[in-house]
Structure 1
Protein backbone atom coordinates (compact mmCIF):
# COMPACT_ATOMS: atom_id res chain seq x y z
CA UNK A 1 0.00 0.00 0.00
CA UNK A 2 2.80 2.42 0.91
CA UNK A 3 4.60 1.66 -2.34
CA UNK A 4 1.45 2.31 -4.39
CA UNK A 5 0.84 5.63 -2.62
CA UNK A 6 4.48 6.61 -3.12
CA UNK A 7 4.32 5.85 -6.85
CA UNK A 8 1.07 7.82 -7.10
CA UNK A 9 2.86 10.77 -5.50
CA UNK A 10 5.71 10.34 -8.00
CA UNK A 11 3.22 10.33 -10.88
CA UNK A 12 1.58 13.53 -9.62
CA UNK A 13 4.98 15.13 -9.18
CA UNK A 14 5.99 14.11 -12.70
CA UNK A 15 2.76 15.49 -14.18
CA UNK A 16 3.34 18.80 -12.37
CA UNK A 17 6.90 18.97 -13.71
CA UNK A 18 5.52 18.14 -17.15
CA UNK A 19 3.13 21.08 -16.84
CA UNK A 20 6.10 23.39 -16.21
CA UNK A 21 7.97 21.80 -19.12
CA UNK A 22 5.06 22.80 -21.35
CA UNK A 23 5.66 26.40 -20.27
CA UNK A 24 9.37 26.06 -21.06
CA UNK A 25 8.66 24.44 -24.45
CA UNK A 26 6.23 27.18 -25.48
CA UNK A 27 7.82 30.29 -24.02
CA UNK A 28 11.57 29.74 -24.23
CA UNK A 29 11.85 29.76 -28.06
CA UNK A 30 9.77 32.96 -28.09
CA UNK A 31 12.02 34.66 -25.55
CA UNK A 32 9.19 35.00 -23.02
CA UNK A 33 9.47 34.88 -19.24
CA UNK A 34 8.90 31.44 -17.72
CA UNK A 35 7.37 32.92 -14.55
CA UNK A 36 5.23 35.85 -15.68
CA UNK A 37 2.44 36.09 -16.63
CA UNK A 38 0.75 33.01 -15.11
CA UNK A 39 -0.44 30.21 -17.40
CA UNK A 40 -2.95 31.49 -19.95
CA UNK A 41 -4.63 30.55 -23.18
CA UNK A 42 -2.22 31.27 -26.07
CA UNK A 43 -5.16 32.44 -28.21
CA UNK A 44 -7.41 34.70 -26.10
CA UNK A 45 -4.64 35.46 -23.55
CA UNK A 46 -6.93 35.00 -20.56
CA UNK A 47 -5.41 33.40 -17.46
CA UNK A 48 -6.39 29.81 -16.80
CA UNK A 49 -8.62 29.07 -13.85
CA UNK A 50 -6.93 26.98 -11.12
CA UNK A 51 -9.08 23.93 -11.90
CA UNK A 52 -8.25 24.21 -15.60
CA UNK A 53 -4.54 24.26 -14.88
CA UNK A 54 -4.41 20.80 -13.30
CA UNK A 55 -2.04 18.55 -15.29
CA UNK A 56 -3.85 16.19 -17.68
CA UNK A 57 -7.10 16.39 -15.68
CA UNK A 58 -7.70 20.03 -16.60
CA UNK A 59 -7.35 19.35 -20.32
CA UNK A 60 -9.68 16.35 -20.12
CA UNK A 61 -12.26 18.30 -18.11
CA UNK A 62 -12.22 21.06 -20.74
CA UNK A 63 -12.41 18.46 -23.51
CA UNK A 64 -9.37 20.01 -25.11
CA UNK A 65 -10.83 23.51 -25.51
CA UNK A 66 -10.27 26.85 -23.77
CA UNK A 67 -12.98 27.63 -21.22
CA UNK A 68 -13.25 31.22 -22.44
CA UNK A 69 -12.72 31.26 -26.23
CA UNK A 70 -13.39 27.58 -26.96
CA UNK A 71 -10.28 27.41 -29.12
CA UNK A 72 -8.83 23.92 -29.35
CA UNK A 73 -5.90 23.29 -26.99
CA UNK A 74 -3.28 20.98 -28.59
CA UNK A 75 -3.22 17.45 -27.19
CA UNK A 76 0.54 17.80 -26.84
CA UNK A 77 0.08 19.51 -23.47
CA UNK A 78 -1.45 16.54 -21.63
CA UNK A 79 0.79 14.15 -23.59
CA UNK A 80 3.92 15.89 -22.25
CA UNK A 81 2.47 15.87 -18.73
CA UNK A 82 1.48 12.21 -18.89
CA UNK A 83 4.80 11.19 -20.46
CA UNK A 84 6.75 13.00 -17.74
CA UNK A 85 4.66 11.27 -15.07
CA UNK A 86 5.26 7.87 -16.70
CA UNK A 87 9.01 8.46 -16.94
CA UNK A 88 9.20 9.53 -13.29
CA UNK A 89 7.39 6.36 -12.23
CA UNK A 90 9.57 4.19 -14.49
CA UNK A 91 12.74 5.63 -12.95
CA UNK A 92 11.42 5.14 -9.41
CA UNK A 93 10.53 1.52 -10.16
CA UNK A 94 13.86 0.86 -11.88
CA UNK A 95 16.18 2.46 -9.34
CA UNK A 96 14.11 2.77 -6.16
CA UNK A 97 14.64 5.73 -3.89
CA UNK A 98 18.21 6.50 -4.97
CA UNK A 99 20.40 9.18 -6.46
CA UNK A 100 19.93 7.54 -9.87
CA UNK A 101 16.19 8.19 -9.62
CA UNK A 102 16.57 11.83 -8.60
CA UNK A 103 19.23 12.40 -11.24
CA UNK A 104 17.07 10.69 -13.84
CA UNK A 105 14.12 12.95 -13.03
CA UNK A 106 16.30 16.01 -13.62
CA UNK A 107 18.09 14.59 -16.67
CA UNK A 108 14.90 13.38 -18.37
CA UNK A 109 13.17 16.71 -17.79
CA UNK A 110 15.89 18.48 -19.74
CA UNK A 111 15.82 15.86 -22.48
CA UNK A 112 12.06 16.06 -22.90
CA UNK A 113 12.01 19.86 -23.11
CA UNK A 114 14.86 19.88 -25.62
CA UNK A 115 13.26 17.16 -27.73
CA UNK A 116 9.90 18.89 -28.14
CA UNK A 117 11.52 22.27 -28.82
CA UNK A 118 13.70 20.64 -31.48
CA UNK A 119 10.62 19.05 -33.07
CA UNK A 120 8.87 22.44 -33.06
CA UNK A 121 11.67 24.75 -34.15
CA UNK A 122 14.59 22.59 -35.37
CA UNK A 123 16.71 24.30 -32.70
CA UNK A 124 18.18 23.35 -29.33
CA UNK A 125 18.38 26.52 -27.19
CA UNK A 126 21.81 27.23 -25.76
CA UNK A 127 20.31 28.19 -22.41
CA UNK A 128 18.89 24.68 -22.01
CA UNK A 129 21.92 22.72 -23.23
CA UNK A 130 24.33 24.86 -21.19
CA UNK A 131 22.24 24.73 -18.01
CA UNK A 132 21.67 20.99 -18.45
CA UNK A 133 25.42 20.45 -18.74
CA UNK A 134 26.10 22.61 -15.65
CA UNK A 135 23.45 20.78 -13.61
CA UNK A 136 24.93 17.47 -14.78
CA UNK A 137 28.37 18.45 -13.50
CA UNK A 138 26.83 19.57 -10.19
CA UNK A 139 24.99 16.25 -9.88
CA UNK A 140 28.16 14.24 -10.48
CA UNK A 141 29.98 16.27 -7.84
CA UNK A 142 27.09 15.85 -5.38
CA UNK A 143 27.08 12.04 -5.60
CA UNK A 144 30.88 11.81 -5.28
CA UNK A 145 31.91 14.66 -2.94
CA UNK A 146 34.98 12.83 -1.62
CA UNK A 147 36.60 12.70 -5.07
CA UNK A 148 35.29 15.95 -6.51
CA UNK A 149 38.55 17.01 -8.25
CA UNK A 150 38.70 13.74 -10.19
CA UNK A 151 34.96 13.83 -10.84
CA UNK A 152 35.12 17.40 -12.12
CA UNK A 153 38.06 16.57 -14.38
CA UNK A 154 36.38 13.54 -15.93
CA UNK A 155 33.05 15.32 -16.35
CA UNK A 156 34.67 18.15 -18.27
CA UNK A 157 36.90 15.73 -20.19
CA UNK A 158 33.92 13.67 -21.36
CA UNK A 159 32.05 16.84 -22.35
CA UNK A 160 35.00 18.03 -24.46
CA UNK A 161 35.48 14.54 -25.91
CA UNK A 162 31.78 14.55 -26.86
CA UNK A 163 32.29 17.78 -28.80
CA UNK A 164 35.26 16.23 -30.61
CA UNK A 165 33.19 13.14 -31.31
CA UNK A 166 30.40 15.27 -32.74
CA UNK A 167 32.89 16.99 -35.07
CA UNK A 168 34.09 13.60 -36.30
CA UNK A 169 30.52 12.35 -36.68
CA UNK A 170 29.56 15.52 -38.59
CA UNK A 171 32.53 15.18 -40.96
CA UNK A 172 31.86 11.49 -41.65
CA UNK A 173 28.15 12.11 -42.16
CA UNK A 174 28.68 14.98 -44.58
CA UNK A 175 31.28 12.95 -46.47
CA UNK A 176 28.97 9.94 -46.79
CA UNK A 177 25.62 11.68 -47.33
CA UNK A 178 26.73 14.95 -48.92
CA UNK A 179 24.55 16.95 -46.54
CA UNK A 180 24.78 18.29 -42.97
CA UNK A 181 23.91 15.62 -40.41
CA UNK A 182 24.56 17.38 -37.11
CA UNK A 183 23.90 20.94 -36.00
CA UNK A 184 25.66 23.02 -33.40
CA UNK A 185 22.87 22.40 -30.90
CA UNK A 186 23.20 18.65 -31.40
CA UNK A 187 26.89 18.86 -30.52
CA UNK A 188 26.08 20.69 -27.29
CA UNK A 189 23.37 18.16 -26.47
CA UNK A 190 25.92 15.40 -27.01
CA UNK A 191 28.23 17.14 -24.51
CA UNK A 192 25.32 17.32 -22.05
CA UNK A 193 24.76 13.57 -22.49
CA UNK A 194 28.45 12.93 -21.92
CA UNK A 195 28.43 14.69 -18.55
CA UNK A 196 25.34 12.85 -17.34
CA UNK A 197 26.15 9.41 -18.76
CA UNK A 198 29.93 9.07 -18.89
CA UNK A 199 31.99 7.75 -21.80
CA UNK A 200 30.72 4.18 -22.39
CA UNK A 201 27.04 5.05 -22.02
CA UNK A 202 27.56 8.10 -24.24
CA UNK A 203 28.75 5.85 -27.08
CA UNK A 204 25.73 3.61 -26.54
CA UNK A 205 23.42 6.63 -26.60
CA UNK A 206 24.97 7.86 -29.86
CA UNK A 207 24.64 4.42 -31.44
CA UNK A 208 20.97 4.19 -30.42
CA UNK A 209 20.34 7.73 -31.68
CA UNK A 210 21.84 6.91 -35.08
CA UNK A 211 19.92 3.64 -35.28
CA UNK A 212 16.55 5.14 -34.32
CA UNK A 213 17.15 8.18 -36.53
CA UNK A 214 17.98 5.97 -39.51
CA UNK A 215 14.86 3.88 -38.93
CA UNK A 216 12.65 6.97 -38.60
CA UNK A 217 14.23 8.53 -41.68
CA UNK A 218 13.75 5.34 -43.67
CA UNK A 219 10.09 5.11 -42.67
CA UNK A 220 9.60 8.79 -43.54
CA UNK A 221 11.12 8.29 -46.98
CA UNK A 222 9.02 5.15 -47.55
CA UNK A 223 5.80 6.93 -46.58
CA UNK A 224 6.71 10.03 -48.56
CA UNK A 225 6.60 12.38 -45.58
CA UNK A 226 10.36 12.99 -45.75
CA UNK A 227 11.81 14.24 -48.99
CA UNK A 228 15.36 13.49 -50.22
CA UNK A 229 17.92 15.77 -48.55
CA UNK A 230 15.23 17.11 -46.19
CA UNK A 231 16.58 17.93 -42.74
CA UNK A 232 15.05 16.30 -39.68
CA UNK A 233 15.63 17.09 -35.99
CA UNK A 234 18.24 14.79 -34.45
CA UNK A 235 17.82 16.02 -30.87
CA UNK A 236 14.88 13.73 -30.04
CA UNK A 237 16.88 10.69 -31.15
CA UNK A 238 19.87 11.76 -29.04
CA UNK A 239 17.49 12.23 -26.11
CA UNK A 240 15.96 8.80 -26.68
CA UNK A 241 19.39 7.20 -26.80
CA UNK A 242 20.43 9.05 -23.66
CA UNK A 243 17.29 8.00 -21.78
CA UNK A 244 17.73 4.33 -22.70
CA UNK A 245 21.42 4.45 -21.80
CA UNK A 246 20.59 5.98 -18.38
CA UNK A 247 18.11 3.24 -17.52
CA UNK A 248 19.55 0.11 -19.14
CA UNK A 249 23.01 1.18 -20.31
CA UNK A 250 24.98 -0.60 -17.59
CA UNK A 251 23.23 -3.93 -18.24
CA UNK A 252 23.55 -3.65 -22.02
CA UNK A 253 27.23 -2.73 -21.89
CA UNK A 254 27.92 -5.56 -19.44
CA UNK A 255 26.10 -8.03 -21.71
CA UNK A 256 28.03 -6.76 -24.73
CA UNK A 257 31.37 -7.14 -22.97
CA UNK A 258 30.54 -10.66 -21.80
CA UNK A 259 29.51 -11.70 -25.31
CA UNK A 260 32.57 -10.03 -26.82
CA UNK A 261 34.98 -11.66 -24.36
CA UNK A 262 33.28 -15.02 -24.80
Structure 2
Protein backbone atom coordinates (compact mmCIF):
# COMPACT_ATOMS: atom_id res chain seq x y z
CA UNK A 1 0.00 0.00 0.00
CA UNK A 2 2.81 2.40 0.92
CA UNK A 3 4.50 1.75 -2.41
CA UNK A 4 1.27 2.43 -4.28
CA UNK A 5 0.72 5.70 -2.40
CA UNK A 6 4.28 6.84 -3.09
CA UNK A 7 3.92 5.93 -6.76
CA UNK A 8 0.63 7.78 -7.15
CA UNK A 9 2.01 10.79 -5.27
CA UNK A 10 5.09 10.81 -7.51
CA UNK A 11 3.01 10.66 -10.67
CA UNK A 12 0.83 13.52 -9.39
CA UNK A 13 3.82 15.67 -8.43
CA UNK A 14 5.54 15.08 -11.77
CA UNK A 15 2.32 15.88 -13.67
CA UNK A 16 1.92 19.05 -11.60
CA UNK A 17 5.49 20.08 -12.31
CA UNK A 18 5.18 19.34 -16.02
CA UNK A 19 2.00 21.43 -16.17
CA UNK A 20 3.80 24.33 -14.47
CA UNK A 21 6.63 23.80 -16.95
CA UNK A 22 4.13 24.15 -19.78
CA UNK A 23 3.07 27.53 -18.39
CA UNK A 24 6.72 28.51 -17.94
CA UNK A 25 7.16 27.98 -21.68
CA UNK A 26 4.32 30.45 -22.23
CA UNK A 27 5.90 32.99 -19.88
CA UNK A 28 9.31 32.67 -21.52
CA UNK A 29 7.83 33.23 -24.99
CA UNK A 30 5.26 35.94 -24.23
CA UNK A 31 6.66 38.07 -21.41
CA UNK A 32 9.72 39.42 -23.28
CA UNK A 33 7.48 40.10 -26.30
CA UNK A 34 5.04 42.11 -24.18
CA UNK A 35 2.16 39.72 -24.86
CA UNK A 36 -0.61 38.67 -22.50
CA UNK A 37 0.14 35.48 -20.59
CA UNK A 38 -3.52 34.41 -20.63
CA UNK A 39 -4.89 35.48 -24.01
CA UNK A 40 -5.05 34.24 -26.67
CA UNK A 41 -4.97 30.54 -25.73
CA UNK A 42 -2.01 28.43 -26.82
CA UNK A 43 -1.57 28.40 -30.57
CA UNK A 44 0.94 27.49 -33.23
CA UNK A 45 3.39 30.40 -33.71
CA UNK A 46 3.53 29.66 -37.44
CA UNK A 47 -0.06 29.17 -38.63
CA UNK A 48 -1.67 30.73 -35.49
CA UNK A 49 -4.19 27.89 -35.18
CA UNK A 50 -5.42 27.38 -31.61
CA UNK A 51 -4.20 24.11 -30.13
CA UNK A 52 -6.62 21.45 -28.96
CA UNK A 53 -6.64 20.58 -25.26
CA UNK A 54 -5.23 17.10 -25.96
CA UNK A 55 -2.39 18.62 -27.99
CA UNK A 56 -1.48 20.72 -24.96
CA UNK A 57 -0.89 17.81 -22.58
CA UNK A 58 2.62 18.36 -21.17
CA UNK A 59 5.32 16.17 -22.74
CA UNK A 60 2.83 13.68 -24.18
CA UNK A 61 1.26 16.22 -26.54
CA UNK A 62 4.63 16.84 -28.21
CA UNK A 63 5.22 13.10 -28.52
CA UNK A 64 1.76 12.45 -30.00
CA UNK A 65 2.30 15.18 -32.58
CA UNK A 66 5.81 13.88 -33.32
CA UNK A 67 7.19 17.35 -32.74
CA UNK A 68 5.11 19.00 -35.49
CA UNK A 69 2.02 21.20 -35.63
CA UNK A 70 -1.13 19.20 -36.34
CA UNK A 71 -2.25 21.77 -38.95
CA UNK A 72 0.74 23.25 -40.78
CA UNK A 73 3.30 20.54 -39.90
CA UNK A 74 5.83 23.14 -38.80
CA UNK A 75 8.33 21.79 -36.26
CA UNK A 76 7.61 22.40 -32.58
CA UNK A 77 10.74 23.24 -30.61
CA UNK A 78 12.17 20.38 -28.55
CA UNK A 79 12.57 22.87 -25.70
CA UNK A 80 8.86 22.62 -24.82
CA UNK A 81 8.93 18.98 -23.66
CA UNK A 82 12.42 19.40 -22.18
CA UNK A 83 11.31 22.29 -19.97
CA UNK A 84 8.15 20.42 -18.97
CA UNK A 85 10.13 17.28 -18.11
CA UNK A 86 12.82 19.24 -16.25
CA UNK A 87 10.21 21.07 -14.18
CA UNK A 88 8.49 17.79 -13.34
CA UNK A 89 11.80 16.28 -12.24
CA UNK A 90 12.65 19.34 -10.13
CA UNK A 91 9.26 19.13 -8.41
CA UNK A 92 9.82 15.43 -7.74
CA UNK A 93 13.31 15.98 -6.32
CA UNK A 94 12.10 18.70 -3.97
CA UNK A 95 9.14 16.52 -2.92
CA UNK A 96 11.38 13.53 -2.15
CA UNK A 97 13.72 15.67 -0.02
CA UNK A 98 11.26 17.88 1.86
CA UNK A 99 8.14 15.67 1.77
CA UNK A 100 4.69 17.23 2.20
CA UNK A 101 5.53 20.60 3.74
CA UNK A 102 5.37 24.37 3.37
CA UNK A 103 9.03 24.25 2.34
CA UNK A 104 8.16 22.01 -0.60
CA UNK A 105 5.47 24.36 -1.86
CA UNK A 106 7.73 27.38 -1.38
CA UNK A 107 10.64 25.78 -3.20
CA UNK A 108 8.35 24.72 -6.05
CA UNK A 109 7.35 28.36 -6.49
CA UNK A 110 10.92 29.66 -6.25
CA UNK A 111 12.30 27.12 -8.70
CA UNK A 112 9.52 27.90 -11.18
CA UNK A 113 10.48 31.58 -11.07
CA UNK A 114 14.18 30.74 -11.38
CA UNK A 115 13.60 28.47 -14.38
CA UNK A 116 11.56 31.13 -16.19
CA UNK A 117 14.20 33.78 -15.50
CA UNK A 118 16.99 31.45 -16.61
CA UNK A 119 15.39 30.72 -19.97
CA UNK A 120 14.52 34.37 -20.62
CA UNK A 121 18.07 35.45 -19.75
CA UNK A 122 19.49 32.83 -22.12
CA UNK A 123 17.18 34.03 -24.89
CA UNK A 124 17.30 37.79 -24.44
CA UNK A 125 20.12 38.61 -21.98
CA UNK A 126 17.50 40.29 -19.77
CA UNK A 127 15.82 39.49 -16.45
CA UNK A 128 12.33 41.04 -16.56
CA UNK A 129 11.45 43.18 -13.55
CA UNK A 130 7.89 41.78 -13.29
CA UNK A 131 9.37 38.37 -12.51
CA UNK A 132 12.15 39.47 -10.16
CA UNK A 133 9.89 41.88 -8.25
CA UNK A 134 7.02 39.41 -7.90
CA UNK A 135 9.52 36.74 -6.89
CA UNK A 136 10.90 39.06 -4.19
CA UNK A 137 7.41 39.72 -2.80
CA UNK A 138 6.65 36.00 -2.78
CA UNK A 139 9.93 35.42 -0.94
CA UNK A 140 8.92 37.81 1.82
CA UNK A 141 5.49 36.16 2.03
CA UNK A 142 7.26 32.81 2.30
CA UNK A 143 9.33 34.14 5.20
CA UNK A 144 6.16 35.29 6.98
CA UNK A 145 4.54 31.88 6.50
CA UNK A 146 7.67 30.08 7.72
CA UNK A 147 7.88 32.36 10.74
CA UNK A 148 4.28 31.56 11.67
CA UNK A 149 4.71 27.83 10.94
CA UNK A 150 7.93 27.43 12.93
CA UNK A 151 7.22 29.70 15.88
CA UNK A 152 3.54 30.72 15.72
CA UNK A 153 4.37 34.10 17.25
CA UNK A 154 4.67 37.70 16.11
CA UNK A 155 8.33 37.71 17.09
CA UNK A 156 8.98 34.64 14.96
CA UNK A 157 7.19 36.17 11.99
CA UNK A 158 9.09 39.44 12.44
CA UNK A 159 12.41 37.59 12.70
CA UNK A 160 11.85 35.63 9.49
CA UNK A 161 10.54 38.67 7.65
CA UNK A 162 13.55 40.74 8.72
CA UNK A 163 15.84 37.94 7.55
CA UNK A 164 14.23 38.13 4.12
CA UNK A 165 14.38 41.93 4.00
CA UNK A 166 18.05 42.02 5.04
CA UNK A 167 18.84 39.34 2.44
CA UNK A 168 17.03 41.27 -0.28
CA UNK A 169 18.77 44.56 0.58
CA UNK A 170 22.17 42.86 0.78
CA UNK A 171 21.64 41.17 -2.58
CA UNK A 172 20.67 44.44 -4.23
CA UNK A 173 23.51 46.44 -2.67
CA UNK A 174 26.15 43.79 -3.27
CA UNK A 175 25.44 43.37 -6.96
CA UNK A 176 24.90 47.09 -7.48
CA UNK A 177 28.36 47.59 -5.95
CA UNK A 178 29.81 45.08 -8.41
CA UNK A 179 28.10 46.95 -11.25
CA UNK A 180 29.52 50.27 -10.03
CA UNK A 181 32.98 48.75 -9.82
CA UNK A 182 32.60 47.65 -13.43
CA UNK A 183 31.67 51.21 -14.42
CA UNK A 184 34.74 52.52 -12.57
CA UNK A 185 36.90 50.04 -14.49
CA UNK A 186 35.08 51.03 -17.70
CA UNK A 187 33.73 47.53 -18.16
CA UNK A 188 30.21 46.28 -17.56
CA UNK A 189 30.49 43.67 -14.82
CA UNK A 190 26.86 43.09 -13.87
CA UNK A 191 23.48 44.02 -15.29
CA UNK A 192 20.70 45.73 -13.33
CA UNK A 193 18.57 42.60 -13.69
CA UNK A 194 21.20 40.52 -11.88
CA UNK A 195 21.00 42.81 -8.83
CA UNK A 196 17.21 42.49 -8.80
CA UNK A 197 17.49 38.71 -9.07
CA UNK A 198 20.00 38.73 -6.19
CA UNK A 199 17.50 40.73 -4.13
CA UNK A 200 14.85 38.13 -4.91
CA UNK A 201 17.26 35.36 -3.88
CA UNK A 202 18.01 37.14 -0.62
CA UNK A 203 14.30 37.44 0.20
CA UNK A 204 13.95 33.67 -0.05
CA UNK A 205 17.31 32.56 1.34
CA UNK A 206 18.30 35.16 3.92
CA UNK A 207 21.70 36.84 3.88
CA UNK A 208 23.83 33.82 4.88
CA UNK A 209 22.56 31.51 2.19
CA UNK A 210 22.44 34.36 -0.32
CA UNK A 211 26.21 34.72 0.07
CA UNK A 212 26.64 30.97 -0.41
CA UNK A 213 24.43 30.94 -3.51
CA UNK A 214 26.28 33.96 -4.89
CA UNK A 215 29.65 32.32 -4.31
CA UNK A 216 28.53 29.13 -6.05
CA UNK A 217 27.17 31.18 -8.97
CA UNK A 218 30.43 33.12 -9.36
CA UNK A 219 32.56 29.97 -9.11
CA UNK A 220 30.51 28.04 -11.68
CA UNK A 221 30.24 31.11 -13.93
CA UNK A 222 33.99 31.67 -13.87
CA UNK A 223 34.66 28.00 -14.63
CA UNK A 224 32.20 27.95 -17.54
CA UNK A 225 33.50 31.26 -18.89
CA UNK A 226 37.13 30.14 -18.81
CA UNK A 227 36.23 26.77 -20.33
CA UNK A 228 34.35 28.52 -23.16
CA UNK A 229 37.35 30.75 -23.88
CA UNK A 230 39.75 27.79 -23.89
CA UNK A 231 37.47 25.91 -26.24
CA UNK A 232 37.29 29.04 -28.44
CA UNK A 233 33.55 29.28 -28.01
CA UNK A 234 33.74 32.87 -26.80
CA UNK A 235 36.16 35.78 -26.89
CA UNK A 236 37.62 37.34 -23.76
CA UNK A 237 35.28 40.04 -22.48
CA UNK A 238 32.26 38.74 -24.39
CA UNK A 239 29.07 39.01 -22.35
CA UNK A 240 27.40 35.92 -20.98
CA UNK A 241 24.08 35.80 -19.11
CA UNK A 242 24.74 35.50 -15.37
CA UNK A 243 21.14 34.82 -14.35
CA UNK A 244 21.37 31.08 -15.04
CA UNK A 245 24.38 30.81 -12.72
CA UNK A 246 22.56 32.70 -9.97
CA UNK A 247 19.60 30.37 -10.42
CA UNK A 248 21.88 27.31 -10.26
CA UNK A 249 23.60 28.63 -7.15
CA UNK A 250 20.21 29.15 -5.53
CA UNK A 251 19.02 25.66 -6.47
CA UNK A 252 22.16 24.02 -5.06
CA UNK A 253 21.79 26.08 -1.88
CA UNK A 254 18.15 25.05 -1.50
CA UNK A 255 19.04 21.37 -1.66
CA UNK A 256 22.37 21.29 0.16
CA UNK A 257 23.01 24.71 1.66
CA UNK A 258 23.10 23.60 5.29
CA UNK A 259 25.74 20.85 4.95
CA UNK A 260 27.81 22.94 2.53
CA UNK A 261 27.84 25.93 4.89
CA UNK A 262 28.50 23.71 7.90
CA UNK A 263 31.44 22.04 6.14
CA UNK A 264 32.88 25.42 5.18
CA UNK A 265 32.57 26.88 8.68
CA UNK A 266 34.07 23.65 10.07
CA UNK A 267 37.32 24.52 8.31
CA UNK A 268 37.75 27.56 10.56
CA UNK A 269 35.96 26.74 13.80
Same fold (TM over 0.5): yes
1:16 aligns with 2:19: yes
| Paired positions, count | 260
Q: Say whether the 8 Å CA contact 2:58–2:81 is kept in structure 1.
A: yes
Which of residues 201, 204, 209 in structure 2 aligns to 1:193?
201
The alpha carbon displacement at 1:66 in A equals: 0.8
Change (3 A) 1:174 1:207: farther
The alpha carbon displacement at 1:45 in A equals: 0.6
The alpha carbon displacement at 1:156 in A equals: 1.5
Gaps of 5+ in 1: none
The alpha carbon displacement at 1:163 in A equals: 1.2
1:141 aligns with 2:149: no
Distance 2:69 2:256 in 1: 40
Q: Aligned to 2:188, what secondary structure does the other structure show?
A: coil
Gaps of 5+ in 2: none
Could you tell me which residue of structure 2 aligns to residue 151 of structure 1?
160
Listed one character per residue, the Cα deviations across residues 50-102 of structure 1 (whole Å, up to 9, x for unaligned) are 12111011111111111111111111111110010000000011111112211
Could you tell me which residue of structure 2 aligns to residue 179 of structure 1?
187
Distance 1:154 1:208 in 2: 21
Higher mean alpha-carbon deviation, 223-232 vs 129-138, is at 223-232
Distance 1:204 1:151 in 2: 18
Distance 2:242 2:37 in 1: 25
Distance 1:22 1:142 in 2: 29
Could you tell me which residue of structure 1 aligns to residue 34 of structure 2?
31
Distance 2:72 2:240 in 1: 34
Q: Say whether the 8 Å CA contact 2:147–2:158 is kept in structure 1.
A: no
Distance 1:219 1:70 in 2: 39
Listed one character per residue, the Cα deviations across residues 98-124 of structure 1 (whole Å, up to 9, x for unaligned) are 122111100000000000000000000
Distance 2:56 2:187 in 1: 44
Which of residues 130, 133, 158 in structure 1 aligns to 2:133?
130
Which runs of structure 2 are paired with 1:61-140 in the superposition (5 Å)?
A: 61-140=64-143
Distance 1:160 1:81 in 2: 33
1:205 aligns with 2:213: yes
